[in-house]
Amino acid sequence: MQSNVLTEVFLPLALAIIMLGMGLSLTLTDFKRILLYPKAIAVGIINQIIMLPLLAFAIIALLGLETELAVGLVILAACPGGPTSNLISHLSRGDVALSISLTVVSSLITVVSIPFLVNFAILKFIPDGQQQALPIFNTILSVLVITLIPVAIGMAINKAKPALASRLDRPVKLLSAIFLFLIIAGALAKEKENLVSFFILVGPATLLLNLLSMGIGYGTSRITNHSTKQSITIAIESGIQNGTLGIAIAASLLQNAAMSIPSAIYGLLMFITSAGVIMWGNRVIPLNEELAE
């Protein structure tokens, strides 16, 4: 597959289908739930929108990441949660309604915050203007088109034809999983000659970002007196990012394959750490408590 076909056609289309699948399971009630969890939403959003990028910059300084890989880690940290975080919250016996609410709010905010954070990282880590900055308006428009608009279409289908949405839900999720695998594989294959060195350089950084953000998310939610279910969910939403969007920003909007590597490697490591969170959640949250929600 030619790189321009991958980055300009397949990648945005795949992300749009993934987000469409998320929309098929959403209703307007999910947005109304935001009002039911004001403190939990605030803690989760502060962790994700403010703490996570700061943590990324701290890890970059600690591990000495440079140039494209440093920018790639910031891109990853700038992304919102996605459908994967909702699924992991469900499997971990977390508060799925809160997870969906946090994903919705973070997705709306990061449409605007992504270009500013990424451009700051480019100015900081790419010397002498060697990398073109993201155009603010075009980036906002692009993120809207490949994320929020497909979600809105999925919600419209769910509202108008709930039976159709129900039938589409499983095949679209399966297709989304296949696309996610292909996107990660494609991003890694494009840099296959440098893959081992990139993994050594950025693997520890993405793992630290994932683990520390989940740990901080859980700790801050417990300090603010949230339940175990809510705390697990806030931890997952703080630490599980939409790596597919990160790859799309790097490969499609910035046309820089190396910047997509942190998101691709993160996409692999995330499933390992998520398995641990799922097992832990199933140990600390009794089944009868989950069913009572």
CA–CA separation, 268 and 178 (whole Å): 14
Class of domain 3-292 (CATH, top level): mainly alpha
Which one is predicted more confidently, 95 or 221? 221
Which one is predicted more confidently, 175 or 52? 52
Write the CA distances from 72 to 145, 153, 247, integer angstroms. 22, 30, 9
Compute the mean pLDDT over every residue in the chain, rounded to the nearest whole number.
83
Got the DSSP string for 176-220?
HHHHHHHHHHHHHHHTGGGHHHHHHHHHHHHHHHHHHHHHHHHHH
CA–CA separation, 193 and 171 (whole Å): 35
Q: pLDDT per residue over 119-149, tens digit each?
A: 999 988 887 766 677 778 888 888 888 778 8
Q: Which of 220, 233, 222 is nearest to 277 (CA)?
A: 233
* pLDDT value for 271: 82
Where are the chain's structural domains? 3-292
Asked if residue 73 lies in contact with residue 60, where contact means CB atoms within 8 angstroms, the answer is yes
Q: Which of 192, 166, 176, 164 is nearest to 261 (CA)?
A: 192
Alpha helices in 64-95 (DSSP H): 67-78, 83-91
pTM listed for this prediction: 0.84
Write the CA distances from 107 to 45, 114, 163, 196, 242, integer angstroms. 10, 10, 26, 32, 10
Q: 9 falls in which pLDDT band (50, 70, 90)?
A: low
Angle, helix 261-284 to helix 228-239, in steps of 10 degrees: 170
SS3 for 40? helix
Q: pLDDT per residue over 153-201, tens digit each?
A: 888 888 888 888 888 877 877 777 777 777 777 666 766 776 777 788 8
Tokens standing for 235?
């931890």
Q: 47 falls in which pLDDT band (50, 70, 90)?
A: very high
